[in-house]
Amino acid sequence: MPNKAPTTVREIMSRDCYRVSATTSVNTLVEGLALHRLPGVPVVDQRDHLIGFISEQDVLGKVLESAYLDDEPPLVRELMRHEVLSVTPNKSITDLAQEMLGTKPKVFPVVEQERLVGIVTRRDVLMAILRMRGKNKH
């Protein structure tokens, strides 16, 4: 049945996702976040291994400070979080939805065999749950 509602992260994740390296400038990061309409993105090394996460919230204070002091904005590595919540492609959408309740991130990196294979957003999960509900009513 090709029109089946998705049940796993693999079915709803964005594979060709925006990501940055530790040496990306914060200016480039902020432009990328705006272009891709994301609140935050994974930070990867040269082999696409997930090494961190950085969000608009992580950089706002530093960007404001560097503008005020007329300093060079910092690099991603100076502001990124090293503790990253990630999911596997096989995780159930409903399980992830439960985890996203509350103050959890709006964007989860999707990791398989230590490599970043995509991202999944709260909006992706919400849309998938609505599709599941719609399919169950028929």
Question: Distance between CA 66 and CA 56 in Å, rounded?
Answer: 15
Length of the chain counted residue by residue: 138
Q: pLDDT of 119-138, one tens digit each?
A: 999 999 999 999 888 765 54
Enumerate residues 6+ apart whose C-beta is below 8 A from 130.
none
Instruction: With a cut of 50, say whether residue 1 has pLDDT above it.
Output: no
What is the DSSP annotation of 25-82?
BHHHHHHHHHHHT-SEEEEE-TT-BEEEEEEHHHHHHHHHHHHHHTPPP-BHHHH-BS
CATH number for the region 9-134 comes to 3.10.580.10
0.75 exceeded by pTM? yes
Q: pLDDT of 100-124, one tens digit each?
A: 887 778 899 999 998 999 999 999 9
Q: pLDDT of 26-78, one tens digit each?
A: 999 999 999 999 999 999 999 999 999 999 999 998 888 887 888 887 899 99
Instruction: With a cut of 50, say whether residue 5 has pLDDT above it.
Output: yes
Q: Say what the pLDDT of residue 61 is.
A: 87
